[in-house]
Chain A
Amino acid sequence: MAQEVKTKATFPSVEWFNALREIINNDEAYKRHGTCDASVGIKIPEAGKYFVINFEAFEVEGVKETTEAEAENTDFWIEQSYDQWQEMIKNIADNGKADLGHTLNTLDVEYPDGLARSNDGYRRDLFYRFNQSFQHFFDATAQIETKFS
């Protein structure tokens, strides 16, 4: 089911993640998954771009661009190549949400080191515990007209 596109932003950028944050914080369906408390790093190594997203209670509390070390100093970080990020975001845009081959769980299983990585096994499990919320978060990218830098 297609989602209505309301905003434009370039990936990867803090503006893009903030646009997503805005969408999620006004999405009642996201809240119905339950509370989600996690600091999540985002790594796009070839682009030299690193971000930290803070999920708190029923909303995305904040997004910031940061260093690689800070991105890894989180509960877990999601790391993909630029091409992999692009493929995932485009798949979501084309289908309204991730198809069977592009969900976070599927990608996590396909990558030998996992999609979600951490220095702590307990903290990494937050990726699984709040997975419905994180999937909803990324599925909402269908509402952004994404330009790839």
Chain B
Amino acid sequence: MTDASTTGIPPELIQVSEENGIPLDLIRRALALGFPPDAIRQQMSMPGVTAEAAEQFISEQEKIRSGGEITIPDEVLAISREKNWPEELIKRALTLGAPAAMLIQQMKAGITAEQAASFIAQQEQMRSGEGGAPQLDLSWMHVPTEWGIRVTPGKKGLTTGMINVGTYADIPDFWPYHSEMPRGAHPIPGIPAMGYSIYEKAELWSENAADLYEEAIQRRWRPSTDVPWESMEDLPDAVEKAMCQLCTHISERSLVAGDIVGGWLPEMSYGYHEVKLYLSVAEFDVARWFEVFRKRALSNGGGMGIQAPGYFHRTLIDARAWTEASAALHILAAGQLMMLFQIGLYTAHNEAERTIFSYCLQDVARQRAYGSQHLKYFLSRHGERRQEISHVLNKYEVMLEYEWDADEPLRGALMILLGGGASAEQIAEGASKLEYFRKRWANDYVDQLAAAGLGERREKVHHSIKQYISEPEEAAAAAA
């Protein structure tokens, strides 16, 4: 029953008061001291609690709050000395309203003074009205990195390269940090090393990396919805099989390319994030190639073909340095892949295939752009290693050509696509056109090497590539 004496007292406390014979006035005084209702209810419900003990506790708290001296009960004092809890800590706990019995229980349970102090500090903060905010060390706000950076977006928005301003534009020749700390951030001493192996800028840098990253992000495409799959119609059996074999081959090469870049990315330290960013989206590019070519193979009545012999793939995977891997993957192999995409485009039977090969040409051209400019940068810093790179390319050209000769399914598929069928006449026509594309690839390859600073390789490429190279006079005459 509610009357004036119960005003302001929560109903659950009224009930406990009646059940345990605790006067309502004591409860009102406890609430006035700031004890939460739940805490009051809990204390009153404990076995052995009497009105007299409650009066004694409340009076002691009222004395403490009004600035009176805190009296530590003898039994609490005795145990605190045994358990090494300082008297000051006990007084703080009593000021907060901790019952003596609870303090004794906690000390006997083995709670250390340090643990208790941390809890008590938290409770004191809450009581002081700071809303329970934890104590923070804000010294991180005074970290000695360059501050006040502002970059205005330009015609292309806010690009990765644009934020390289002030000290954040300092891209050192050697990165001195072994952790994943971002360039420009403040290091914490003692952070364990991540085990990178590439710390020299020349071993991975390309001046266009930031731009290539932005380009790759902007020009990403979705095979599921950007390819007009409904434009595909049944093709002659041999042609469908040939297209499926080409798709199988490209999807396998995509997996290998992903493995190679994926294996080298963790070796690259974070001082050169532009390169890591671009290579990360290049991973996305090759994953998309795998996706789209597998989809093409499995969407028009065909299926997957036979795997590649894999000699060149395994050689690529065995590369011992990133520059070597990149030259082989992004200049040599990418050029051949570009040839395959151009053949696919040239022989496209529908809008779906045209779209697929057009988008892939964009993607692979970006990879070549990274590869040639990285090699150019590397040679500009390590001219003494030109011969080494040339030697490396000798090896990869041999293996690429060996693979080409061994991969009769791929060559046969290309001839059928180029000739339009599998009759003797069509294959002959296809073979002739394949030579045309090989010649274009070979000349394009040496042009890319020249752009990368290895123009002399025109005379040194593997003989089976060199046979296709137009002499400058011949090229000029053809153009005239």
Contact = CB atoms under 8 A, between A and B. Distances in A.
Interface stretch (B28-36, B101-109, B187-195, B358-366): B358-366
Given A103-B354, A105-B361, A129-B215, 16 more contacts: A33-B219, A35-B156, A56-B155, A57-B156, A58-B155, A105-B342, A108-B342, A109-B345, A109-B437, A109-B440, A113-B479, A121-B449, A122-B451, A125-B368, A128-B361, A129-B365
A120 to B, nearest CB: 6
Contacts of A58: 155-156
Contact of A112 (B444, B451, B478): B478
Contact of A128 (B351, B365, B372, B436): B365
A34 interface: yes
Interface in B423-480: 436-437, 440, 444, 447-452, 475, 478-479
B342 A122 contact: no
A121 B451 contact: yes
Contacts of A110: 346
Contacts of B152: none
Given A103-B358, A132-B358, A132-B362, A109 B447 contact: no
A116 to B, nearest CB: 11
A100 interface: yes
A80 B448 CA distance: 23
Contacts of B452: 122
B369 A129 contact: yes
Interface residues of A, number: 31
Given A35-B215, A113-B478, A131-B362, A100 B448 contact: no
A114 interface: yes
Contact of B219 (A34, A57, A100, A106): A34
B336 interface: no
Nearest to A121: B447
B369 A34 contact: no
Interface in A72-120: 100, 103, 105-106, 108-110, 112-114, 117, 120
Interface of A: 33-35, 56-59, 100, 103, 105-106, 108-110, 112-114, 117, 120-126, 128-132, 135
Contacts of A125: 365, 368-369, 448
Contacts of B358: 103, 105, 131-132, 135
B448 A121 contact: yes
Interface string B307-340: 0000000000000000000000000000000100
Contact of B345 (A105, A117, A124): A105
5 contacts: A57-B154, A112-B478, A121-B449, A125-B365, A135-B358
Given A106-B345, A114-B440, A132-B219, A122 B372 contact: yes
A103 B346 CA distance: 10
B269 interface: no
B214 interface: yes
